[in-house]
Structures are given as structure tokens and as C-alpha cells.
Chains A and B, each alone.
Chain A
Amino acid sequence: QKEVEQDPGPLSVPEGAIVSLNCTYSNSAFQYFMWYRQYSRKGPELLMYTYSSGNKEDGRFTAQVDKSSKYISLFIRDSQPSDSATYLCAMSAKGGKLIFGQGTELSVKP
């Protein structure tokens, strides 16, 4: 079993839809949780960084962490075609390596 599981998609939604991206993990030592967005042929861009359980909002993006269920989510409201990219969840224990999910390919259709 992989330490971090993420549905690779692809996920296709119409413009304006709410998108939900999810990752599960097995290592209870993970304390730091991140979401990265990667456009084709580019490096990953940090979208959200959370440390504790709960929600964190930034504009149209909301990151949710549930440590008891070992489950994290990223919600995108009012999705736009420019949101079309691959979304990677990543997490680490203190001082540990960053462990990535497989990435979910998202396509937002106009």
C-alpha cells in the first residue's frame, strides 16, 4: 500500500463547478500537508499549506485536513478553464521527506 493515495483521474468538469480533490494517507506521523498545482511542462506551484486539522481558505481554494481519518481534500469553487492542470497532494512528517500523491489531472471545460 502506498503511503499516499490520490485518484489520478482524469477529472472533467464544466466551468463554474465545484471541484473536490482528495488524498488518503497511512502514516500517522504526517503533520504537514500541501497542495500543488502543476501545469503541463512546468514545475509544481504551491497552492495551500496546512499544519493542523481543519479548514484553510484562500480565495476560491479551500484545503481540508482530517487527521483522524487520514484524509485531506482541496475544494475549488467557481472553477475556471485556467484551473485545468494536475493537482498534487503532498505531505511530510517533521524533518521527513515530502511524499507526493500520484496527481489528479483536472480539466475545466468552458
Chain B
Amino acid sequence: GAVVSQHPSWVICKSGTSVKIECRSLDFQATTMFWYRQFPKQSLMLMATSNEGSKATYEQGVEKDKFLINHASLTLSTLTVTSAHPEDSSFYICSASPGQQETQYFGPGTRLLVL
């Protein structure tokens, strides 16, 4: 149980284009979903927290107009990187929380490369 999927697993795009990443909780309803970014050899950096049906809460320093988050249902959240630049290249990981407990279950991650 507690499986979270992400799609796509990797994406290469040209600078200036937008990329959408989907995160789904497959066998539970996620009241809260989280988006992280991870650089090589570093720990996870929380970008934003989203609750179903409400606006996401962004961490300090994360541009909400650049990283658009939509939490359309209790099993789906999307992250759109708008007007991507090479410095946006990173490993993006989502997680989901069932709400009854404080733990989070992570997706497999999406590797983004912006050329």
C-alpha cells in the first residue's frame, strides 16, 4: 500500500517551454501533497505544500508564478515549470500524506533537463 506515482520519470525540454509533472496517490486519498526539489548529493528541499481544492503554500524563495501547482483531486497534483531555464534542471519529487498520520510517501521522482 501507500504507492505514489509520478509521470514522466524524465523529461528533456528546450529553454522557454513549459513542463508539467503529475503526481498520483494510487491506493489512498492524499489530503496533502508536497513538491520537493533535490540537487545531486543534497537532501530534499521543500518547494510547496498543496491541499486539495485550495491554493498551494510556497516556501520562501520559490516563485509561485514559475512553479504552478494544482491539486485537482485527492489523488492528483501537478507541478508545471513555466518558461523553463537550464537552472531549473533538477530532480523533482512529490510526496503525499494520507492525513491520518504525519508521514509522507514519496513518488519515484522526475528528472528534468532544460537545454
> How does the 8 Å CB contact mask read for B76-88 relative to A, with 1 for contact and 0 for none?
0000000000000
Contact partners of B44 in chain A: CB under 8 A:
44, 88, 100
Contact partners of A88 in chain B: CB under 8 A:
43-44
Question: For residue A100, which residue of chain B has the nearest CB?
Answer: B43
A19 to B12, CA, bound (A): 38
Which B36-95 residues have a C-beta within 8 angstroms of A?
42-44, 46, 49, 91, 93, 95
Give the residue among A36, A44, A46, A92 with the most B Cβ atoms within 10 A: A44
A97 to B58, CA, bound (A): 12
B43 and A98 contact, CB distance less than 8 A: no
Interface: B104 (CB within 8 A)? yes
Give the number of chain B interface residues (Cβ < 8 Å). 22
Known: A43-B6, A44-B93. A98 touches B104 (CB 8 A): yes
A94 and B102 contact, CB distance less than 8 A: yes
A43 and B43 contact, CB distance less than 8 A: no
Contact partners of B95 in chain A: CB under 8 A:
43
Query: A22 → chain B, closest Cβ, in Å?
Result: 16
Contact partners of A98 in chain B: CB under 8 A:
34, 46, 102, 104
B43 and A101 contact, CB distance less than 8 A: yes
A43 and B106 contact, CB distance less than 8 A: yes
Known A31-B102, A36-B106, A42-B109; further 5 A-B contacts with Cβ < 8 A? A34-B103, A41-B111, A43-B95, A98-B102, A98-B104
Closest 6 A/B residue pairs (Cβ)? A43-B106, A32-B102, A43-B109, A43-B108, A44-B106, A100-B43
> What are 5 A-B interface contacts by the 8 Å CB criterion?
A32-B103, A42-B108, A43-B6, A46-B106, A98-B46
